[in-house]
Structures are given as structure tokens and as C-alpha cells.
Amino acid sequence: MSADRTVDVNQPAADASPAAAGGTARHGSVGVPAPSRPRRFHPAWIVAAVAFLALVGAAGFRAAPGVLMVPLQQEFGWSTTVLSAAVSINLVLFGLTAPFAAALMERFGIRAVTATALVLIGAGSALTVLVNQAWQILLTWGLLIGLGTGSMALVFAATIANTWFVKSRGLVIGILTAGSAAGQLVFLPFIAMLAQDPGWRQASLLIAAGALAVVPLVLKFLKNSPADVGVLPYGETAPAGETAILTPPAEAGPRANAAVRALQVLKRASRIRTFWALVAGFAICGATTNGLIGTHFIPSAHDHGMPETTAAGLLAVVGIFDIVGTIASGWLTDRFNPRILLAVYYQFRGIGLLVLPLLLSAEVQPSMIVFVVIYGLDWVATVPPTAAICRETFGADGSVVFGWVFAAHQFGAAAAALGAGAIRDATGQYTYAWFGAAAMCTIAAVISATIRKHGSSKEPAPAGAAA
């Protein structure tokens, strides 16, 4: 009788056979019979559900700056540029932390990094109620919340999908990305109401409570890998007659330094043209979402006489359609060329920004509702195809590469947030900012459409291998 072969389930999914599972599964040194039929409910979906809630809890601050900017200006007399600088610091750290957070999740586990990030967001939001000088808002909004949200960036969604799923990765990334939109939807109306009465401090405490409330769920249910619960990733099966070694990544070999790992991946990725195309496109994506609309839509609407609560309600509608658009984008990414999807998304966004100055007024017109729906569907629909291209091109390094691409997203957002604030202070309006962003979207569409397709043979070696 032939000896069983051994399969390490922590190898990239491309190495796995689609045959039915069989043989013996081992966790550590203990062998247990592999199930003769798959579980009716795979634990990957529990992990995905908790990850979704964690993203919802972390998203509270994403809704806050646009709502709290005017009350802070009224109380302390700070300029739009000062508050935009605080948001910009937040966005830069949000981006810079992302690739290192991906490596830290590989080093220390998804659960520990996620719980720590939520605590940082909660602490930064709670401490905001004590500020009375400009440098303090830079510390809370900028440093603490920036580090926390950076560790809970969209790279978290890519890490969960790549670790726990072989099948339906695009759909899962879309659902998890929609968690940020859901957080905006949940928090934004309440933040707007609290900011008016009783005040912005209570709104900050609400954000802190939302982040901290998810921590117990993360600690109990967010497992680091399928091996922790003795299963294969969803959609992967070990070939019949083989042995699946369910060894957690931490036990598979020596742990690499997270910073070194992230920088090594950056060095490898920077040699490939696709990386720079994704960086350019995602920088424009960040500039036209978090940087402009997320930070300055409410102040701009306020300039035109629209009440802040009304403008906040419009952004909440953006959040509703963002959920629909991102999940749909994940479904489409599993079926169509992600490069073409990116080009279409960016071009539609540019058209919306081009007409936005004509739509802003004291009252909500039907044309503004159309803009909100279209922009919502497009808001972060770019994430699933971008993550898919990272995985396709960079293989096992895909999650960390996506972290670096996301860093560019936040650099673009930071530049746009600061630049639009300066334009508002210099000209008294945001019109030039909207037009400039529309032109950048056209550039992003062209860049995305011309990204070359890479086969699996062109994937670089995993971390630790020679470049």
C-alpha cells in the first residue's frame, strides 16, 4: 500500500488540489480523522462576521471630522487648515501603518493586532473631549486614532480573506470593506445629532464606545488562522489519501521581524510596474473619497446654506449605497477583469465630482440624490479589484503589498484633505478642489485600464526567499 503524502495547508492556495478531503488531519502532533464530508457551516464565516463588526466599530471616526469640524471652529476659533492638518496626520498614519499592520498580523496574529487597534481608536476618541489647544487635536485625531485606524485599515479585510478563504475571496473582501461603510451609516446620523445637542464631546464619546464595544468579541471569536480550529480555509480541500498538516502560521517556522518583512515586500513589489500603477490609482481613490468628500462635503454644503444634519444625512445615504456597491464589486471581481472594473469606477467618480459644484444648494434637490446614490455605489468599490490584482500579481505577498498600496490611498487622502482646506481658506469655496479631483479620476481610469495581466508564474517568491 502506498504511503500517504503530506500537504501543508499554509501554502498558497494555488498549490491545493480541488479533490475531496480525506486521510488524517493533524494539529501539532495530534492526528485526527479528516471529516468525510465538509461542515455545513464553515468557521471562516464566523471570523468574517466578527471582522465585519470590528470594521464597523472602527469606522466611527471616519464619519466624525466632517461633522465635528464646524463645532470645533465655533468653540476654539481654529481655521479649516488647522483641522484639515489634524485629519491629514490621521490619514498619513492610517496609510503608513497599514503595510506594517499586515506584517504584524502575520507575526503576532490577527486577533491581538485588531484588539489593540480598537483600544487605540477608543482612547484617541475619548481623550478628544479634553482638548483645548490645536496641538492636542493633532495628537488625538492625528496620532492615536491614525495608528489605530491604520491597523484596522482595508488591508485587514484582505488579510482575513486571504487567510481564511480560497473560494469567494472577492465577495468576502467586498463584504468586509462594506463594514467601514456600515460604520459610517451607523454612526454618522447620531454624531451629527449629538454634535448639535448636547455637543461634540458627547459625539466623541460615542465613537470611543463603538470601538471598545467590539473588543470582547474580537478576543473571543476572531481566530488567527484556520489551523487554530483544525480546519482548512473555506473552499480548500486536501487531496484524497493525503495528510493535511493543520499547523498555525506561528508554528510553521521562525517569526520574521514585521518591519523587515514589510520593507522586503516593498522592495520586491517596487520592481514591478503594476505596483506603481496600483499606487497611483489608489492615491487618487483616497483623494476623492476620504480626503475630499469624507472630510469636506459637509463644510462645503454648509457654505451653501445646507444644515449640517442634512448634509450628514446625505453622507449616510452614501454609506448605504457604498455597502451595496462594494459587495456587488466583490461579486463582479470574482467574474470579470478587475482592471476594466477599476477604469469604469474611476471614470464614473470623475463625472460625479465634475458636476458636484452645480448641485450644492441650501436644499436637497433630486439631482443631489442621484449624485449621492452614484457616488455611494462607487465609494470603495475599487477595493475588491485592487486587492485581487495584488493577489494575482504578488501571490503570498499580496496582503502586505495591498497594505503599501493602501498607504498610497491615505497619502492621497491626506494631501487632498489639506489641499482642499487651504483652497477653501484662500478662495472662500471648494470649487477648484472638486474640478481638480475630477481630472485626477480620469487619469486613474486610464492608468487602471492599461495594467498588464500577470499569471501565477510571475508571482514573486514568498517572504524570506531570494528576490
pLDDT at residue 307 greater than cutoff 70: yes
Confidence band, pLDDT 50/70/90 cuts, at residue 353: very high
In a domain, 304, yes or no: yes
Distance separating alpha carbons of residues 144 and 117, to the nearest angstrom: 9
Quick one: pLDDT at residue 454? 64
Rounded average pLDDT over 279-302: 89
pLDDT tens readout for residues 211-241: 899 999 999 888 888 888 888 888 777 655 4
Highest mean pLDDT pick, 10-14, 60-64, 103-107, 349-353: 349-353
pLDDT at residue 5 greater than cutoff 70: no
Rounded mean pLDDT of the chain? 79
In a domain, 368, yes or no: yes
Instruction: Show the domain range for 138.
Output: 43-230+247-458
Confidence band, pLDDT 50/70/90 cuts, at residue 294: confident
In a domain, 375, yes or no: yes
Please tell me the total count of domains within the chain: 1
pLDDT at residue 462 greater than cutoff 60: no
Confidence band, pLDDT 50/70/90 cuts, at residue 256: low
Q: What is the CATH number of the domain that holds 184?
A: 1.20.1250.20
pLDDT at residue 314 greater than cutoff 80: yes
Quick one: pLDDT at residue 238? 61
Sheet holding 30-33, edge to edge: 6-8, 243-245, 24-27, 30-33
Identify the residue with better confidence: 45 or 67. Answer: 45
Quick one: pLDDT at residue 448? 93
Q: What percent of the chain has pLDDT over 70?
A: 82
In a domain, 351, yes or no: yes
In a domain, 406, yes or no: yes
pLDDT tens readout for residues 101-118: 777 887 788 889 999 999
Rounded average pLDDT over 5-14: 42
Rounded average pLDDT over 270-299: 90
pLDDT at residue 14 greater than cutoff 60: no
Identify the residue with better confidence: 305 or 26. Answer: 305
Distance separating alpha carbons of residues 4 and 9, to the nearest angstrom: 15
In a domain, 464, yes or no: no
pLDDT at residue 282 greater than cutoff 90: yes
Highest mean pLDDT pick, 94-103, 125-134, 172-181: 125-134
pTM, 2 dp: 0.66
pLDDT tens readout for residues 15-46: 443 333 333 444 344 444 444 455 567 888 89
Rounded average pLDDT over 78-103: 79
pLDDT at residue 278 greater than cutoff 90: yes
pLDDT tens readout for residues 411-426: 898 889 889 888 988 8
Quick one: pLDDT at residue 260? 83
Highest mean pLDDT pick, 75-79, 206-210, 253-257, 447-451: 447-451
Quick one: pLDDT at residue 455? 52
pLDDT at residue 383 greater than cutoff 80: yes
pLDDT at residue 467 greater than cutoff 60: no
Q: For residue 383, what are the CA distances in angstroms to 209, 212, 259, 283, 397?
A: 27, 26, 24, 12, 17
Quick one: pLDDT at residue 28? 40
pLDDT tens readout for residues 130-145: 888 888 888 888 888 8
* CB-based contacts of 173, cutoff 8 Å, min separation 6: 157, 158, 161, 330, 333, 383, 384, 387, 388
Quick one: pLDDT at residue 281? 94
pLDDT at residue 460 greater than cutoff 80: no
Identify the residue with better confidence: 353 or 8. Answer: 353
Quick one: pLDDT at residue 407? 84
In a domain, 219, yes or no: yes
Of 257-266, 320-329, 433-442, the poorest mean pLDDT is in 257-266
Quick one: pLDDT at residue 34? 46
pLDDT at residue 11 greater than cutoff 70: no
In a domain, 2, yes or no: no
